[in-house]
Amino acid sequence: MTDAAIPKSPPSLPLMARVFFWIGVLSFGGGLSGWIHRQVVQQYGWMDNDDVLSGIALAQVLPGANVTNLCVYVGYRIRGTAGAATSLIALLAGPTVICVLIAMAYHLLQDYPVLQACVDGVAAAAVGLNLRLGIVGAQRVMPRIAPTIAMIATFLAVGVFEWPLVPVVLVIAPLSVAAVWPRGARDA
At 87-99, the pLDDT tens digits run 999 999 998 998 8
Q: Is the domain of 70 the same as that of 162?
A: no
Q: Is the domain of 87 the same as that of 15?
A: yes
* Segments forming the whole domain that contains residue 188: 142-188
Q: Is the domain of 137 the same as that of 152?
A: no
Taking residues 25-53, report their average pLDDT: 88
The pLDDT of residue 184 is 60
Q: Which residue from 31, 34, 40, 33 is spatially nearest to 125, judged by alpha carbons? A: 31
Q: What angle do CA 120, 126, 128 make, to 5 degrees?
A: 105
Q: Is the domain of 124 the same as that of 185?
A: no
Q: Is the domain of 62 the same as that of 125?
A: yes
Residue 177 pLDDT level (bands cut at 50, 70, 90): confident
Q: Is the domain of 112 the same as that of 188?
A: no
Measured between alpha carbons, how far is 23 from 25 in angstroms, rounded to an integer?
Answer: 6
Q: Is the domain of 10 the same as that of 88?
A: yes
Is the predicted pLDDT of residue 38 greater than 80, yes or no? Answer: yes
Percentages of the chain per state (helix, strand, coil), in multiples of 5: 80, 0, 20
Is the predicted pLDDT of residue 126 greater than 90, yes or no? Answer: no
Kindly tell me the burial class for residue 173, based on how many C-beta atoms sit within 10 Å of its own C-beta (0-12, 13-18, 19 or more). middle
Residue 136 pLDDT level (bands cut at 50, 70, 90): confident
Q: Is the domain of 84 the same as that of 136?
A: yes
Q: Is the domain of 97 the same as that of 185?
A: no
Q: Is the domain of 30 the same as that of 100?
A: yes
What is the number of domains present in the chain? 2
Is the predicted pLDDT of residue 188 greater than 60, yes or no? Answer: no
What is the identity of the amino acid at 9? Answer: S
DSSP 143: T
Residue 138 pLDDT level (bands cut at 50, 70, 90): confident
Q: Which residue from 79, 73, 108 is spatially nearest to 6, judged by alpha carbons? A: 79
Residue 129 pLDDT level (bands cut at 50, 70, 90): confident
Residue 50 pLDDT level (bands cut at 50, 70, 90): very high
Kindly tell me the burial class for residue 16, based on how many C-beta atoms sit within 10 Å of its own C-beta (0-12, 13-18, 19 or more). buried
Distances in whole angstroms, Cα of residue 99 to Cα of each of 94, 96, 104 = 9, 5, 8
**pTM of this prediction?**
0.61
Q: Is the domain of 121 the same as that of 169?
A: no
The pLDDT of residue 142 is 85
Q: Is the domain of 78 the same as that of 122?
A: yes
The pLDDT of residue 26 is 85
